[in-house]
Structure 1
Amino acid sequence: MKSFAFAKAWAKESALPLWSGVGFDMARGLFHERLDFDRNPIALPATRLMVQARQIATFSRATLAGWHRGSETVLAACLANVERLYHRADGHPGWVFSIDPNGKPASRVRDLYAHAFIVYALAWSYRLTGDPHSIRLADETLAEIDMVLAASHGGHLDAAPSDDPTRRQNPHMHLLEAVLALYEATGRERDLVRAGALVELATSRFIDAESGALLEDFTPDWKPLEPRGYNRVEPGHQFEWYWLFGEYRRLGGSVPEEVTDRLLDFGLDHGIDQESGLIVDAVTESGSILNPSFRSWPHAEGVKAFVTAAKGGQEGAAQMADHLLASLVTFCPDMLDGGWIDRFDADGAPAVDDMPASTLYHVMGALFEAELLAGSERLG
């Protein structure tokens, strides 16, 4: 894979040292949320659970892969801090959304997206350390999701308390990712059964039968939020779900090929800007562009999708994975030495002035998948 060797060296020599060094607050024992373009931490009024969970999972994976050394003790201490500061921090079931600089709850909302990522982090932490407490806490968290975020018509509420009735696919996607990681860590049938329920929800509710596109937003009973032709579709999520369905199959589940093929085709046909070759942020189910800007993460998810397609023997998929990995690298200029410009506007100008730590999860996820094919004859 032409772009892989360079990207792996960049990750090992620049990105992982940056985000475990300057990107980690030794005084608090937590990861920083953002760095400026001079690689200095940015003081924020709140630190989100989601970011801590993503970083713990990512560095656990990097350590297991041999890409990063000396982090086991730091990660274990960080996870212990996260549990102490976020889990039932206000005396109620679940994890608070964020804490203030003094370690007190800043937002007491129970957020499905954040809960999914702490389960994901616990699964990867267990694979690194073998500590059974991680599995016990993951199970407790899943039980709290079922209790605190219970919803009718399948799936879960996005958040509680909340006055927003919109149901979203995105946190359910990451919950599927989390329970698949948990199943791979434990081998327990019940985890795969939970994953299967989320796959069924996606195939029956999230995917538009006419276009094959996976929609983003829904009414409380899982009807498309907008009239036909006006619903938001994120090409990056087309690719991310394609990869997740592939993971579910790899672990023993089943998804019709017609469903996954249409996801990939829609992303290719409508999600890629013909002039730049980059993935646009959002379109509609009819293919009209909603947001012509470009973020880094869809390219990472595209790499994962086309690696999966290449492993399945799809012609041209390996070359597309390499193209998208090269595109992802353009978001990580040398001057930032392990950092990134997370978003460009439609004209190709930077649309942000800082570096979010949460991007590392996407970038490293793409590289871990790309390594599965690196060196293969199918990649030329």
Structure 2
Amino acid sequence: MTSSTPQQVRTPQTLWREWLVDKALPLWREAGFDTKRRLFHERLDWQAGPVRLGALRLMVQARQIATYCRATIDTLHDGMDQALTCLDTVEALYHRGDGSAGWVFSVNPEGRPASTKRDLYAHAFILFAYGWAIRMADRPEDRKMARLIAEEIDLIFTAPNEGYLDSIPDSGTLRSQNPHMHLLEAYLAVFEATGDAFYLERARKLIDLARTRLIDRSSGLLLEFFDYRWTPLKAGGQNQVQPGHLFEWSWLLRDYARLSRCDEADRSWLLETAEGLFRAGFVSGCDMSTSRVYDSMTENRVITGHASRIWAQTELLRLLHGAPYSMTHGNEADRFAHGFLERFAPERLNGGWIDHIDANGEPLVDYMPASSFYHIYGAGRQIVLK
């Protein structure tokens, strides 16, 4: 009779560290970076080769810069020099690339503007990138540029009736919650990096906008789209709600409560609303049998998008593996963490990922977008460092 030792159980923390630190971060620093242009590739194919595109978006560069700044701060990867090199290149190419205030949307392979529209979402992310660069290196020029970005955002995008315009030129018909959410995230990142109340005050105004406009009073859920008057775009019960954004806002509301000196009434609203958004997304926006988050539903909690984008999974993972949910939802946290690696990051991709799967778990894309890494790292650091 032979004896055998029990096989060591590999925890989500161990599996994610191996995948994130040993594979994903090196993949996008090496195969994912164009050393000649000093910019990140937008996409890699399944063999980790760059997918050549006619334009590189500001948003993607900013997300990758922020990700490698964060990984450097967390001592999970040494990406400082590359991140700062890319940031300086991006500033030279995108900021006032057409001679006007703000940042152009994208540049072509020669480094000239491909699209000169001004996009609030993209401006939010370049501000976010500067916030993390300040945390990492604290260069005086980065503090100066962060303030300039915030001032240019006010100059370019301020709407006449609260909040901001999505883009310039503006259609005059649509307002979206998403760029406001990421602008809030950016202001909090720069505030935490600098301690400058200038950014926290702007964050507070976005919290007020969420409270009065973005979160539907009847359902308590965050709506995606509005007309120019901030009226929900569709009739009651037919508006789009994205569970992943419920999770993102839940995180940000808690983060604002952590960083601000709000009174007890405001703090209670922040934490109660954060809990409500998490609960709605978790209970109504997830398929528990497959441990994945659906793309979309209505404010009546009817699922309208049965496919699953990778970013929504990571926003839930970030919550489940942080306070207060890691203590109360440990089993779900582990199950979703394992499920993510199995469905979205198979071993054959060696640190890469599948961005979008259908209801049967089949890929809906044939490439890896760099833009996903910002979301993935936010979840990964919660799992690996806890």
- 1:162, distance to aligned residue in structure 2 (A): 2.9
Quick one: distance in 2 between partners of 1:48 and 1:314?
Answer: 35
Amino acid at match of 2:246: Q
Whichever of the two has the greater Rg, that structure is 2
Quick one: distance in 2 between partners of 1:108 and 1:293?
Answer: 33
For 1:317, the equivalent position in structure 2 comes to 329
Cα pair 2:250 2:277 within 8 Å, conserved? yes
TM-score if structure 2 supplies the norm length? 0.93
Q: 2:282 aligns with which of 235, 251, 268?
A: 268
For 2:372, the equivalent position in structure 1 comes to 359
Q: What SS does structure 2 have at the residue aligned with 1:321?
A: helix
Deviates more, 1:85-94 or 1:7-16: 7-16
Which sections of structure 1, spanning at least 5 residues, go unmatched? Answer: 375-380
1:243-262 alignment runs, 5 A limit = 243-252=251-260, 253=262, 254=267, 256=269, 257-262=271-276
Q: 2:139 aligns with which of 131, 154, 171?
A: 131
Quick one: distance in 2 between partners of 1:33 and 1:273?
Answer: 30
Q: 2:291 aligns with which of 265, 274, 277?
A: 277
Q: 1:304 aligns with which of 295, 301, 318?
A: 318
Quick one: distance in 1 between partners of 2:268 and 2:228?
Answer: 25
Quick one: distance in 2 between partners of 1:326 and 1:106?
Answer: 40
In the alignment, does 2:204 pair up with 1:196?
Answer: yes
Cα pair 2:307 2:356 within 8 Å, conserved? yes
* Deviation readout 1:39-61 (Å, 9 max, x if unpaired): 10001010000000000000000
Change (3 A) 1:37 1:284: same
For 2:151, the equivalent position in structure 1 comes to 143
For 1:65, the equivalent position in structure 2 comes to 74
Amino acid at match of 2:277: L
1:211-230 alignment runs, 5 A limit = 211-230=219-238
For 1:350, the equivalent position in structure 2 comes to 363
- 1:191, distance to aligned residue in structure 2 (A): 1.4
Q: Percent identity?
A: 44
Which sections of structure 2, spanning at least 5 residues, go unmatched? Answer: 1-9
1:1-380 alignment runs, 5 A limit = 2-69=11-78, 71-163=79-171, 165-252=173-260, 253=262, 254=267, 256=269, 257-308=271-322, 311-312=323-324, 316-330=328-342, 331-371=344-384, 374=386
Cα pair 2:290 2:339 within 8 Å, conserved? no
Quick one: distance in 1 between partners of 2:104 and 2:268?
Answer: 34
Quick one: distance in 1 between partners of 2:119 and 2:338?
Answer: 34
Quick one: distance in 2 between partners of 1:242 and 1:342?
Answer: 23
- 1:314, distance to aligned residue in structure 2 (A): 7.7
Number of aligned residue pairs: 370
Change (3 A) 1:275 1:371: closer
Amino acid at match of 1:347: N
Q: What SS does structure 2 have at the residue aligned with 1:358?
A: helix
Deviates more, 1:203-212 or 1:84-93: 203-212
Alpha-carbon RMSD across the aligned residues, in angstroms, is 1.5
Amino acid at match of 2:321: V
Cα pair 1:152 1:221 within 8 Å, conserved? no
Deviates more, 1:261-270 or 1:237-246: 261-270
- 1:323, distance to aligned residue in structure 2 (A): 2.6
Cα pair 1:304 1:321 within 8 Å, conserved? no
Cα pair 2:358 2:364 within 8 Å, conserved? yes
Quick one: distance in 2 between partners of 1:274 and 1:15?
Answer: 27
Deviates more, 1:324-333 or 1:16-25: 324-333
